[in-house]
Homo-oligomer: A and B are copies of this chain.
Amino acid sequence: MSFELLILGSSSATPAHQRNPAAQVLTFNDKNYLIDCGEATQMQMQRYKVKAHRIDKIFISHLHGDHYLGLMGLLSSMHLQGRERELTIYCQPELKDILALQFQVSDTALRFVINYQFFTPGTEVLFEDEQIRVIAFELNHRVPCKGFLFCEKPRQRNLIIEKVQNAGIPLDFYQELKAGKDYCDNNGLVFKNKDLTIDPPASKSYAYCSDTLYQESLIPILKGVDLLYHEATFMHDLLDRANETYHTTSLQAGQIASKAQVKKLIIGHFSARYKDLNPLLEETKSVFAPVYLAEEGLVYNF
């Protein structure tokens, strides 16, 4: 299994230069996770053929408009398109009030249930199943704000099928072999797991840091992830402005990626002042080379 990340929005607060506010879809094991939902996310989903009915979990990092204003429209469209399956939104508690007020005023009784799971302070596991664990962690922004870490769980070991068959291991022990166990036959003869299986591919991980001050406390959380999305609202000559607005510069995003030894970095959340984004990319590259710009519509596989 692999992750696929589709960027739907790459602008910061004010959309500009055909760039839309924050939204992205992470696909893993045939499930779509929507991460942030800025204005016009549903239009971007249509443009890039993302099926709304395949989204069951939505993660909203914080309640600045450029990260959630598309949610009401998306939920309304899901309703009008006949959705009945439950949906979970991971968010700050106030989002429920905002949505509830708007549904009430528009006299809308949703056909599907929204489960709200509110963030608690600190680092927490938001959800996990057999394949994935999703963790929320604190960012440092002007309002409460969370980053998200999506970790694939360790995969099963791969059987060396010829050796397994030669050793006469019964079929009903194969799952345990895959889980790493040795096999002991009726005569007490032990077959070591390491002789019958090979390591699975390494588990993958993705981290999302939406809006935050440069924050070295993030390094242990982001350590070694396969892909890091980190905001880079300003270039480093506007460090004062970045600090004042609780944002990161393109240089600092590279520094975090470098210090956390991530494999690849995507920078996004670009200020409207930058029409040409290459200077931001070059600035990040000066400290961390495997970096890409968040380009709307592009899919990053990893």
Interface residues in chain A, defined as those with a beta carbon under 8 Å from any beta carbon in chain B: 13-16, 18, 20-21, 39-40, 42-43, 46-47, 63-66, 69-70, 72-73, 76-77, 80-81, 92, 94, 97-98, 101-102, 105-107, 142-143
A-B contact pairs, 19 of them (CB 8 A): A13-B80, A14-B77, A14-B80, A14-B81, A15-B42, A15-B77, A16-B46, A20-B43, A21-B73, A39-B40, A39-B42, A40-B40, A40-B43, A65-B76, A65-B106, A92-B105, A97-B101, A98-B102, A107-B142
Contact A106 B72 (CB under 8 A): no
Which residue in chain B gives the minimum CB-CB distance to A42?
B15
Most buried by B among A15, A64, A65, A92: A65
Q: Which of B39, B107, B143 contacts A73 (CB 8 A)?
A: B39
* Cβ A69 vs Cβ B64 within 8 A: no
Residue of B nearest to A75 (CB): B65
Q: Which residue of B lies closest to A17 (CB)?
A: B46
Q: How far is the CB of A155 from chain B (nearest CB, A)?
A: 39
Q: A97 contacts which chain B residues (CB < 8 A)?
A: 101, 105
How many of these chains are in the complex?
2
Which B residues lie within 8 Å of A65 (CB)?
A: 72-73, 76, 102, 106
B42 touches A106 (CB 8 A): no
Contact of A46 among B15, B63, B64, B69 (CB under 8 A): B15
Q: Name the contact of A106 in the complex, choosing from B18, B46, B143 (C-beta under 8 A).
A: B143
Q: Give Cα A81–Cα B94 distance, bound, in whole angstroms.
A: 26
Given A15-B42, A43-B40, A73-B69, CB of A98 within 8 Å of CB of B105 = yes
A75 to chain B, nearest CB (A): 9
User: Which residues of B have CB within 8 Å of A15?
Assistant: 42-43, 46, 73, 77
The 8 tightest CB contacts between A and B, nearest first, are A40-B40, A39-B73, A94-B105, A14-B77, A63-B105, A65-B76, A64-B106, A14-B80
Chain B proximity of A33: nearest CB distance (Å): 22
Contacts of A16 in B (CB 8 A): 46
Q: Which residues of B contact A106 (CB under 8 A)?
A: 63-65, 143
Other A-B contacts than A14-B81, A39-B73, A94-B101, 7 sampled, CB-CB below 8 A, are A13-B77, A16-B46, A39-B39, A39-B42, A40-B43, A65-B72, A107-B142
- For A63, the chain B residues whose CB sits under 8 A away are 105-106
Contact of A101 among B42, B66, B101, B142 (CB under 8 A): B101
Q: How far is the CA of A101 from the CA of B72 in the complex (A)?
A: 14
Contact A72 B73 (CB under 8 A): no
Residues of B within 8 A of A69 (CB): 39, 69, 72-73
